[in-house]
Amino acid sequence: MANRKLLLLPGDGIGPEAMGEVRHIIAHMNEAEGAGFEIDEGLVGGAAYDAHGESISDADMEKALAADAVLFGAVGGPKWDDVPYEQRPEAGLLRLRKDLALFANLRPAICYPALADSSSLRKDVVEGLDILILRELTGGVYFGEPKEIIDLGNGQKRGIDTQVYDTYEIERIAAMAFELARTRDNRVCSMEKRNVMKSGVLWNEVVTATHKKGYEDVELTHMLADAGGMQLVRWPKQFDVIVTDNLFGDMLSDVAAMLTGSLGMLPSASLGAPDETTGKRKALYEPVHGSAPDIAGTGAANPIAMIASFAMCMRYSFEMIAEADRLEAAIAKVLDDGLRTGDIMSDGMTKVGTTEMGAAVLEAYKASA
């Protein structure tokens, strides 16, 4: 089996605790299934700052560039609140995204049957939900120039951000949306605001043109992003893949995520362009949650978001579809069995900690071999 090079960056707070459970799963897969994961380790965030005064070292960046995929825990915490801006823990994550050119952010919103009751929405609205928000991550209003605050000299200031999208940026995210849809329910809904934004007009045009270039087997619809937000809450199951820009994606993915439950459940993936020779994409997988300083060190963290991020890693970086399916089914199984960490605890369920939850998922995974 070809070696699969993984870089683990556990980070701070509950990051290392959750990552520990993934390590057990990887060790099992290597021993029992010959998965051939080759693990390298690095420091990021506050952990890296404490070790060498930077949020990620050049040496660890090299490792990230050389790896097939990066598994990232979480960074940050009150300990580093007074660290200068450039060395802040979050800067390590931003540098990774930038240097690996991760232009696409994938946020699945899956409603596990056992948790359908704990959504803020009605059970029938979310039960069985399985959608994917694909957010453009390196363009748009967060990066466009000019970006500044100007002093107008009359007691007024002007804050300026600029939404900029070029054809190639829209093309590559649209193509990825169609390719992802083919592995799912084969439907893409593109969201922009073409009624009021020029970049939205271009977005709509380029997505439509890309669709005609070999993706016509995928169903494509368009929706204005504000209406999309409304529909996401009204009847989310109408969607399969939603593709949208950086700003709308930031908001819509948070909304979609919360349809289904706790931060402790939510994985994500960030992907770059395929390498011209190997065809492999640079990739980073991480839970949506942060370092949860309030529960760090107590053994209470829910490791499912981190484990589900590893399942995404197998699916998107290593084409280990059967294993990814089995791991996701193992998560659903332990939830069906009533195991709950504190963040998803409800009446009549069995409360467990990080290690028990991780071990139970691994046992369920083994049992499905």
Q: Out of 93, 114, 188, 259, which residue is the one contacting ligand NAI (CB under 6 A)?
A: 93
CB 7 within 8 A of CB 40: yes
DSSP state of 142: G
250 binds, among Mg ion, ligand NAI, none (CB under 5 to 8 A by kind): Mg ion
CB 283 within 8 A of CB 271: yes
Q: Out of 294, 319, 336, 337, which residue is the one contacting ligand NAI (CB under 6 A)?
A: 294
Site string for Mg ion, 243-262 (x = CB under 5 A): -------x---x--------
Site string for ligand NAI, 239-268 (x = CB under 6 A): ------------------------xx----
Distance of CA 358 to the CA centre of its chain: 20
Residue 63 interacts with ligand NAI (CB under 6 A): yes or no: no
Cβ proximity to Mg ion, 205 vs 254, nearer residue = 254
Residues in the chain: 369
Cβ proximity to ligand NAI, 193 vs 289, nearer residue = 289
Q: d(Cα 310, Cα 324) in Å, to the nearest integer?
A: 8
Provide the minimum distance between the beta carbon of 116 and ligand NAI in the complex, in angstroms, as a whole number.
Answer: 19
Q: d(Cα 257, Cα 105) in Å, to the nearest integer?
A: 13
Using alpha carbons, select from 169, 211, 168 the residue that is nearest to residue 186.
211
Based on the residue annotation, tell me whether 254 is a catalytic residue of this protein. Answer: yes
Based on the residue annotation, tell me whether 185 is a catalytic residue of this protein. Answer: no
**Phi, psi angle pair for 116, to nearest 5°:** -60, -25
Token output for 316: 């998107």
Provide the minimum distance between the beta carbon of 229 and Mg ion in the complex, in angstroms, as a whole number.
Answer: 14
Alpha helices in 107-224 (DSSP H): 123-126, 167-182, 198-212
Q: Which residues bind Mg ion (CB under 5 A)?
A: 250, 254
> Catalytic amino acids?
142, 193, 226, 250, 254
* Site for ligand NAI, rule CB under 6 A: 14, 74-77, 90, 93, 263-264, 286, 289-295, 301-302, 305, 341, 343
